[in-house]
Amino acid sequence: MPTVSNPTQEATIWQGRPSQWVNVLWFAACILILPIPFAIYRWLTVRCTTYSLTSQRFRVESGILSRHFDDLELYRVKDITMTQPLIQRLVGLGTITMMTSDRTTPTLLLPAISGPRETMDTIRHQVERVRRERGVRELDVHDDDGSALS
């Protein structure tokens, strides 16, 4: 894992994109029912999505003609989970879900990622490192009946 000597400089730790396996049912439907342009659109949507984990944030770039950029500060990540449906498991993929305290992106879904366990561990290590550097602690506040307060 790369380390950054100067904390103000940002280094890319991991970069990836979803697999076209997220479209397997759409492609099958295109063969049977839907027109080919829709399959091409689905393929381009996945192809034009890029994820980048840097030393400070998680970046998502998406969009075919117009681009959308979303930066998630790593210290805002509260929980990371991974699921591997049967088809994804057979081909070595998995879906990573990050629950965050970010207002615009409370849940970030990374579908059909290659090497999901290693990627999840890499993200988790970076989140912990950034939290330590910034002195960020998570505090859960509950009311009298035990339910969480917002």
Residue 149 within any structural domain of the chain: no
Q: Higher pLDDT residue, 25 or 101? A: 101
Token pair listed for 22: 């997220």
Residue 101 within any structural domain of the chain: yes
Token pair listed for 109: 């879904």
CATH assignment of the domain containing 111? 2.30.29.30
Token pair listed for 81: 């989970």
Residue 75: exposure state from Cβ atoms within 10 A (0-12, 13-18, ≥19): buried
Q: Taking the model in full, what pTM does it have?
A: 0.75
Token pair listed for 33: 């029912």
Closest CA to 109 of 87, 89, 94: 94
Domain count of the fold of the chain: 1
Side-chain half-sphere exposure of 56, counting CA atoms within 13 A? 9
Q: What is the pLDDT of residues 76-122, one digit of tens each?
A: 999 999 999 998 999 999 999 999 999 999 999 999 999 999 999 99
Percentage of the chain modeled with pLDDT above 70:
83
Residue 1 within any structural domain of the chain: no
**What residues are paired with 148 via a beta bridge?**
142
